[in-house]
Structure 1
């Protein structure tokens, strides 16, 4: 007991000496560290992509703050009413790309690049280019802006070329089907500039088998050009994949 008393006296003396120590009063930065503040509120003139580096996803915080249903704590449990100093799971940070592009654009990109959408409508190149432009505005990389402009121009040219070729192939195929059935081609099937130059208003002269073969060859050539344009569009999609 005497040994315990000496220890208690020593502890009491140490406590009194600690109480007598002089500490400087807390300053602004000390209070900011002790307080529950995001670091971006302490930094002036932060950019959106800089805030995304240090900000926490609020949805993740809400999920992590929910009580766990795996273990029910009752009043008889010794852990009842005890508050842990650490959260059960650390809140996950929202990615920088999500912060820069926004949820709406990300949903459009995922919808465009999904396997179902690629089979039905193909990849929406314009959405991918707009996303790449937003990323390049925040993180400038040499040559990316010129590459995006070049890809947009190529896509517009390829899209317009494919549309024109599809329209021409459908028209030629329709004319060929009517000729195979022994029907005459109406004047409306002739190009407007041909009508103006020749002044054809009556029946069109009958075609020979050689003419039909020539038309078939022209249709095959147009289909080959359409395939080549589609391959160019696929190449652009691979280039866009390298930018993501």
Structure 2
């Protein structure tokens, strides 16, 4: 997988674009300590990601690794880039950005709340931002729960916001274990969804089973995330595997003999 190395790229990042995906993953791991000790190299990576977002050029595996490294280092200067990345269509970039914002923690907290002040924010983007915000609360900032819960409660009740955003709020409230979340979500279900809503109903069920919510968030180790890249697999995506016969051929569809 010898991708073309961007001409403006720092030569120390070249190994992210050379060899197969196993070699790229190894280079990614090795670069973490290098970037940690070099703020200029960190800034160079941030600028490269910003260029890609601004130019809508798409992301090579090596460039996704840059985002992953910045998240691993809890790079506060990269917060703005990760927030912008939530708006991108690249699902792998979205997942890496959520993980990175959760790791950055406090510096990303206010930025996420400010992002959610935009009532015109698309439903999918706002849902991703809420997921990142929830993770920060569970993982690093339990003292900020009141601020997060106020935002989630208000958004869940608002009929002016996209459905996907309101559903994400219900899910987050169930994970956080907010005191009156069960009654609140049931009220919204009765008022706004007389025919039901699967995600809100699942949130209520989760709260009834575990009223205290989740005690923390299980973070995927960087090795797991690199595994996603190697398999070209976005977490949560469905994989359809067709069984093979011993010869390696897929089975033929059964024939209805009654038709002949």
Aligning the two structures, in what range does the TM-score lie when normalised by the shorter sequence? Answer: under 0.3
Report the TM-score when normalising by structure 1.
0.23
The structure whose Rg is larger is: 1
Larger RCO (CA under 8 A, 6+ residues apart)? 1
Report the TM-score when normalising by structure 2.
0.22
